[in-house]
Structure 1
Amino acid sequence: MSSRQAVLFASLTSVALLAQAAPQPDWAKLEAETMQHYQSVLRLDTRNPPGNEHIIAEYVKQVLEKEGIPAQIVGSDPKRSNVVARLKGSGRKRPLLIMGHSDVVTVDEAKWKFPPFSATRDGGYVYGRGTVDDKDNLTASLMTMLLLKRLNVALDRDVIFLSESGEEGTTGVGIGYMVKDQFPLIDAEYCLAEGGGVVRIGGEVKYATVQTLEKIPRGIELVSHGISGHGSIPLKSNAIVHLAGAVAKIGDWRPEIRFNETTGTYFRKLAAISPPDVAKYYRDVLSTDPTLRKAADDWLFENEPRHSSMLRTSVSPNIFTGGYRSNVIPSEAKATLDVRALPDEDPAKLLAQVKQVVNDPAVDVRFTGQNERPAGRDARLDNEVYRALEAAATRVYSATTLPTMSTGATDMAQLRAKGVQCFGIGSATDFEDPPKGFGAHSDQERLLESELHRFVRFNYDVVSDLARAK
């Protein structure tokens, strides 16, 4: 090839790459706008209960429509509303749904250093309920819609935005309602929502996680029955004693380890990027040698309980009630177990296992039917969304991407049950923060300002990569 031909080839290649690349905004100039929207939604008190998500719905609708994006408020309860907006594409590909939930968990205001709905900026952080669950995701999705419209990005698929209510325990007004009564508004090939994130250790990014699967919440009640009587005459049939024994057995029980594609890949990749002394346990827990596996399982249970929970269906006794006077032996006592089941767990077999562990005819074991979500299939790791997420994590964070299974529940479960391929993402947070009380649902929930801005860029990069015309 002559030098002239080489120059021409390079020029044509550059033009082709520019044609394929999505328009990029001036990220530094967007920081003030991003922070304004973030603080605005944080300052709107949407603790659930009662929710009152309509105040965010109205704010988001106004912001979208000011940019020329039609937005629709929908819901079964006017105070618990959702917002849907759509940027139209050519229709060559099926839509992409991006969503965040607008409600947050309740707060004990006396325990907060800063008022929980003040969105106080201090030391490079923003403090407030919802900073990492899930108003960062909501803000990033909102900014992505604004940027796609503002930069006039040509799309091969529709991009649908959903601000949903009720994720924190009242899904009937949010994703449950949307799937049951308004599914055509959000029907999509792919969905991006909460559930993943970027892990920082010692202030440095170590890896990114993408949630491709989640455990299924189920409630189980243990109800013990005995004979009531005077507290001065202890009885063998004391319902509290029977219940305490049952709860102790559950506390000592660890269901069997079972891997799926997501968790197997996660631990293999985590071992490859971890220090040798810790990587050993991630490798050994995958071993077929029962001695190595048990030793690794014991270490994870003691030192990294979240990783232990990813290995199995987990059962945690969280509520214990019984009695009404100190001098009266109660005839009944009740404990509630928080079960997070592997997606392929058979409910009937699980209940039978719990009964076998309890092994006490004085204790009834039954499902509560509360806060249940449907089981769904893993999101595939060999598709365009996962590849786009990996590429964006490399560009924005210089990070390796690991697929992960959430131990907690998200509203992607209902969408997965409808056949939507769902992927959970999130901001970069410090691994050390949750034990110190700075994580999601904590009394000092917070997010680094710099990581909010990085996450907005990451979100935009992924969505534009997947949706823009090429």
Structure 2
Amino acid sequence: MTFLRAGGVLALLLAVARAADPRPLPDWPAVEAETLQHFQAIVRMDTSDPPGGEKPVADYLREVLTAEGIEVKVFALDPNRPNVVARLRGTGKKPPLLLMAHTDTVNIDPKKWTHPPFSAHREDGFIYGRGTVDDKDNVAINLMTMLLLKRSGVPLDRDVIFLAEAGEEGSVQFGIEFMVEKHFDEIAAEFCLAEGGGVRRTGGKVQYGSVQTTEKIPNRLRLVARGVAGHGSVPLRSNAVVHLAKAIAAVADWRTEMRLNETTRAFFERLAAISPPEEAVRYQSILQGDESGAAQEYFAVNVPFYNSMIRTSISPNIITGGYRVNVIPSEVEATLDVRALPDEDMAAFLEQMTKVINDPAIEIQRAPGHSRPGAPPSRLNTEAFEAIEAGIRRHYGVITLPTMSTGATDMAYLRQKGIQCFGIGPMIDSEDGPRGFGAHSDQERILEEALHLFLKFNWDVVLDLAAARP
């Protein structure tokens, strides 16, 4: 067969495949205009947490969804902090698909913003505002996906559920904790798509797609040092400040065990395949155990995110104690942010930490504060991961890296209940974070192009997972 004939056959096969594809083709210019309208509307609503007040966004979503004839329910522990659940019903041939996003944002210091934080200001192809990439982008995209599914009338083999939750940014008792404990039947699903991933672009070139398939577990620990109080003019070997300083140095220098799971192993394997040789060697070394420790040390200095991905990490972040310069305090303390690997045995870890500190003047305590439950990573050999991977390849033309988040998301609560959860997100310029334009920053922003491309990607993934097969 000649190349010309082969090309003709291939074109014919593609045309037949497209003709047989039951998925509808939205009017994307009109959809993009509507997406922008909804996105700007919810970014302009101040839902900072603290203090927390997601009701304006919840009311907006309920009104828009109800107007389209979509089934909507509202659940609230606090009437000012409601959770919205919308459902499109399928045949029940497959278990439901859950689309989740949170309507609250971290709070702001308005003096530090060039553009008002709730203006949704558009400039040079960007939209500025608190929540533009955490997480009102996912809220708007999931809203539009539900609207498009309803309008298209595409038959579904699964129910598609949209959960717009409150309280993710530190008040989970009003959001995911409340929904899982009191209303889990309303959101139970086989798969969940939520925040935590994205598509990385550097220097204008797309590098790879990242899908969060597991996350580290936050733990807050206190080191409490006790000694004899006295006059500062007479130094004491029992000085609690000195003992605490040595303990902090000991845990900061402690290289905790390196351990890979299915997600992080796949991450470094795939990263090695697309990296320059000198970088690929380091990733291969990690995969082989890095006996010399050279690759781990390189990460600790140059790529601390990778270093945190391969171990339970410890960051001493708060020190308190003392009240006069001439008084030796009898008690001082430090608070540690410990991010544990999903399979970490914390009781055994604390025993190890006690040995590392090796000082009877130091007591290790668990500090109060919301954590997340531990759960096994979501599996890669699932229909959902394959659909996401295919969507990233289709829309961005790059490889997919399964990723373990070093931060925390509300997917941990769902994974503990057996739901396979995957964190996705829009295209982000890697330069934005260091320049102060990333999530939680004072100039948070998103590319308009990225927002619209994210919807097309999300739409295709949801259709791949939920649309009825002919």
TM-score (norm 1): 0.95
Amino acid at match of 2:165: E
Separation of aligned partners in 2, 1:306 and 1:454: 27
Deviations 1:201-259 (A, max 9, x none): 11111100111111111111111112223334333322222212211112212211101
Q: Secondary structure at the match of 2:287?
A: coil
Separation of aligned partners in 1, 2:356 and 2:104: 37
Aligned to 1:377: 376
Aligned: 1:155 with 2:156: yes
Q: Where in structure 2 are the equivalents of 1:432-451 lying within 5 Å?
A: 432-451=431-450
Separation of aligned partners in 2, 1:78 and 1:325: 46
Aligned to 2:176: 175
Aligned to 1:343: 342
Q: Secondary structure at the match of 1:326?
A: coil
Contact 1:238–1:329 (Cα < 8 Å) also in 2: yes
Aligned to 2:185: 184
**Which moved further from structure 2: 236-245 or 294-303?**
236-245
**Cα offset, 1:328, TM superposition:** 2.9
**Cα offset, 1:8, TM superposition:** 13
Aligned to 2:419: 420
Separation of aligned partners in 2, 1:32 and 1:16: 30
Amino acid at match of 1:178: M
**Cα offset, 1:28, TM superposition:** 2.0
Q: Secondary structure at the match of 1:41?
A: helix
Amino acid at match of 1:39: Q
**Cα offset, 1:18, TM superposition:** 3.1
Contact 2:87–2:161 (Cα < 8 Å) also in 1: yes
Q: Where in structure 2 are the equivalents of 1:349-428 lying within 5 Å?
A: 349-428=348-427
Gaps of 5+ in 2: 1-7
Separation of aligned partners in 2, 1:201 and 1:431: 5
Aligned: 1:283 with 2:284: yes
> Aligned pair in 2 of structure 1 residues 227, 82: CA closer, same or farther (>3 Å)?
same
Separation of aligned partners in 2, 1:341 and 1:9: 50
Deviations 1:84-128 (A, max 9, x none): 000000111100000101111122222221122222112211111
Gaps of 5+ in 1: 1-6
Deviations 1:429-448 (A, max 9, x none): 11122122221111221111
Amino acid at match of 2:139: L
Deviations 1:359-405 (A, max 9, x none): 22111102124222111112111111111111111111111111111
Amino acid at match of 1:130: G
Contact 2:200–2:428 (Cα < 8 Å) also in 1: yes
Separation of aligned partners in 2, 1:265 and 1:79: 42
Amino acid at match of 1:295: A
**Cα offset, 1:182, TM superposition:** 0.3
Separation of aligned partners in 2, 1:238 and 1:66: 67
**Which moved further from structure 2: 392-401 or 327-336?**
327-336
Amino acid at match of 2:52: G
> Aligned pair in 2 of structure 1 residues 331, 174: CA closer, same or farther (>3 Å)?
same
**Cα offset, 1:422, TM superposition:** 0.5
Separation of aligned partners in 2, 1:96 and 1:290: 43
Contact 2:214–2:376 (Cα < 8 Å) also in 1: yes
**Which moved further from structure 2: 281-290 or 451-460?**
281-290
Aligned: 1:267 with 2:265: no
Aligned to 1:3: none
Deviations 1:294-320 (A, max 9, x none): 111111111111111101111111111
Separation of aligned partners in 2, 1:289 and 1:206: 26
Aligned to 1:217: 218
Aligned to 1:130: 131
Contact 2:290–2:296 (Cα < 8 Å) also in 1: no
> Aligned pair in 2 of structure 1 residues 296, 60: CA closer, same or farther (>3 Å)?
same
Contact 1:351–1:366 (Cα < 8 Å) also in 2: no
Aligned to 2:3: none
**Which moved further from structure 2: 411-420 or 240-249?**
240-249
Aligned: 1:250 with 2:251: yes
**Cα offset, 1:191, TM superposition:** 0.4
Q: Secondary structure at the match of 2:434?
A: helix
Contact 1:95–1:157 (Cα < 8 Å) also in 2: yes
Contact 1:281–1:300 (Cα < 8 Å) also in 2: no
Aligned: 1:331 with 2:330: yes
**Cα offset, 1:330, TM superposition:** 2.1
Q: Secondary structure at the match of 2:247?
A: helix
Give the aligned CA root-mean-square deviation in angstroms: 1.9
Deviations 1:328-365 (A, max 9, x none): 33222111111111111001011112212222211110
Deviations 1:243-293 (A, max 9, x none): 1221111221221110111100110100101122222211122124512xx
Q: Secondary structure at the match of 2:69?
A: coil
Separation of aligned partners in 2, 1:352 and 1:36: 54
Separation of aligned partners in 1, 2:19 and 2:335: 58
Deviations 1:122-159 (A, max 9, x none): 22111111111111111111110011011111101000
Amino acid at match of 2:282: Y
Separation of aligned partners in 1, 2:160 and 2:290: 48
Q: Secondary structure at the match of 2:440?
A: coil
TM-score (norm 2): 0.95
Separation of aligned partners in 2, 1:234 and 1:129: 50
Aligned to 1:457: 456
